[in-house]
Structure 1
């Protein structure tokens, strides 16, 4: 028995060390030896934590009561003490008690839980609405109203590829960092309108008590109000394909003054980057612009254009890229069914699609070899 107890103790110690080691390595995660949920920075988070503790205490009391009575009965009415079993078959009082008491317990748990769930779904009176679209494998944000109205951008994983391929040491926020975080003001009610651009995703940030599925063809609303300035991280929590683990969420909560300054800067950038519909783009300008846009494709087709064998076709030497421009335009606008190639019609403008197509037709080994080396924005507009 001592050996068995020692074995269990050793197992428990090993598990504790493993959990502690994992927690230490979690970027932005809970503190070492933390065994509970994160405290969070919203009223809903605090309400959920209160429910969590309340249910734990209720379960503990039920456990002690049930097993206390059971063990007492076994000890006090054992045969060695001369106890004789009762002969009754039913007892109305006991029947009523074990029906009424559980019912009251369930009501006591259901009322605060229902109140919290209703509050979680109440998006009325929001100070700002942000449309959040899940793509394979990144997030798109569009500010529908407020100081940043009209601002929209894509948020991609920014962890260097060398870290993912174990060629460099992993950083403190490995797989939990993005190039463009979602920026919001502190103390304001933010409505998040989620949808999916291809498959089902899920926008989840634990410290904000946020988890809302992003379903193609539907707009589903949720909200949060952060009470503390800081950076809060989450991930897509719906298995959405090959790079499901590579689409993190970063929410940058700033003071009202900092958010106002950020909004002003974004509006200036938006105005500066607005494409002139009457501009005549040269091949060199389209290639330069397309090289930047291509970064959204590099995760699949690779920066070298070689693709990933068996998963993503190479663009370098591709018959589609080197063939008539209409075929490649159709793929960018409509995607290709049965593959991971999605439509970029709603993600990229006419200029951006024209630029990235022109870039692929004039890069790597494709330069000077294919048909239609230049695709103009007007070509994309006509194809739409």
Structure 2
């Protein structure tokens, strides 16, 4: 087939396929699916309104397209030169001018009323039952449940998909690149206000089922809210191109009954209290090595190698940082290295885990420095910065 004909064929076929996809929306689940072309109504009242508004505008556009192109194709066919039709000689028509000015104006008014009503609801951040600060990092999310008493729950949510799946060494899991180690947990039928920001570059917190998509910008706090009406697990992703691992920072939200949420929150606060109590404990070298290894495997091995051999990052084995001054080692681990792939882990790891992993790095992989870092040492270093 001639190249130009092929292009015309594709242009003619794509709207047909798109229309067929919209006609099949009734069979879709409420949560967005892979390769889905249309929006999803989600599990919130506002999400359903946005979806309904979207479909109304879509069908109005379909009718306008049919009428416009139908009139055009009819005119071309019925008044073609081969039939001996002579072109009209009029230059303007007042009635037509008024019609194609008034009719679009009425259509816009019809669409503007429900759109304005829905937008007012989207930007109504008042009277929330729960406030959560969402902070984007390269490449993970930090969640902080804001408590009026100051007893906040804070944790990071990291990609759980293994490197073996990413590099095609194992079969892809059901939720490939859409699974995390710590999901965000919300109570059902409660209004949740999200305060969205970023620590490094621009990210975007996007969960289609919750009708939330908000940019996370360093130095700014954007607001969004959602009231999920159904329990379940809802997945999203960073929707802003934020760096080489942009596709590796998924979002998982677990909406549960209020009793289950309260139990989860109490457990989180209990664990935070346990970590706080450990701040005064003096650990042995063996205890810190045992505690530091899983922290290293989770947060450090991807860049520095499972055996400290290096890779994306520099080697830990024999490193001048891991075998040098303790203060320099703590500074790099806590504050990172600007302009490099070495992130600042001071906010990502609590003082207990930070002390353990620094101890592990200074004594594993043949470094054998004999140093023991205690949680209070990390705390004092942070205070002295």
* Smaller-chain TM-score bracket: 0.7 to 0.9
Q: Which moved more, 1:48-57 or 1:261-270?
A: 261-270
Tell me, what secondary structure is at the counterpart of 2:142?
A: strand
Aligned to 1:360: 361
Separation of aligned partners in 1, 2:283 and 2:36: 57
Assess, with a 3 A threshold, how the Cα gap between structure 1 residues 106 and 304 changes in structure 2: closer, same or farther.
farther
Give the equivalent residue in structure 2 for 1:68: 70
Tell me the equivalent position of 2:96.
94
* Other-structure match for 2:335: 334
Structure 1, unaligned runs of 5 or more: 21-27
RMSD over aligned CA atoms reads 3.0
Asked if structure 1 preserves the Cα contact closer than 8 Å seen for 2:196 and 2:223, the reply is: yes
Q: Which moved more, 1:147-156 or 1:254-263?
A: 147-156
Structure 2: 5+ residue runs without aligned partners?
22-29
Q: Secondary structure at the match of 2:218?
A: coil
Distance in 1 between residues matched to 2:43 and 2:292, nearest whole Å: 40
How many residues matched?
Answer: 364
Counterpart contact for 2:336–2:343, Cα < 8 Å = yes
Measure the CA separation in 1 of the matches of 2:244 and 2:75: 57
**TM-score of the aligned structures, taking structure 2 as reference length:** 0.85
SS at match of 2:182: coil
Match of 1:145 in 2: 147
Query: Is the aligned partner of 1:190 residue 2:192?
Result: yes
SS at match of 1:299: helix
8 Å CA contact retained: 1:181, 1:252: yes
The CA deviation string for residues 71-94 of structure 1, in whole angstroms up to 9 with x for no partner, is 333344344555433322222222
**Counterpart in the other structure of 1:373:** 371
Counterpart Cα distance in 2 of 1:131 and 1:33: 30
- Name the CA distance, whole Å, in 2 between partners of 1:139 and 1:31: 22
**Counterparts of 2:167 and 2:82 in 1: how far apart (Å)?**
68
TM-score by length of 1: 0.85
Q: 2:231 aligns with which of 216, 229, 236?
A: 229
Matched, 1:181 2:179: no
Question: Aligned runs of 1:245-284 on 2, under 5 Å?
Answer: 245-284=247-286
Q: Counterpart in 1 of 2:302?
A: 299
1:164 equivalent to 2:166? Answer yes
User: Deviation of residue 233 (structure 1)?
Assistant: 0.6
Contact 1:148 1:267 in 2 (8 A): no
Q: Tell me the distance in 2 between the aligned counterparts of 1:211 and 1:70.
A: 39
| Equivalent residues of 2:204, 2:240 under 8 A apart | yes
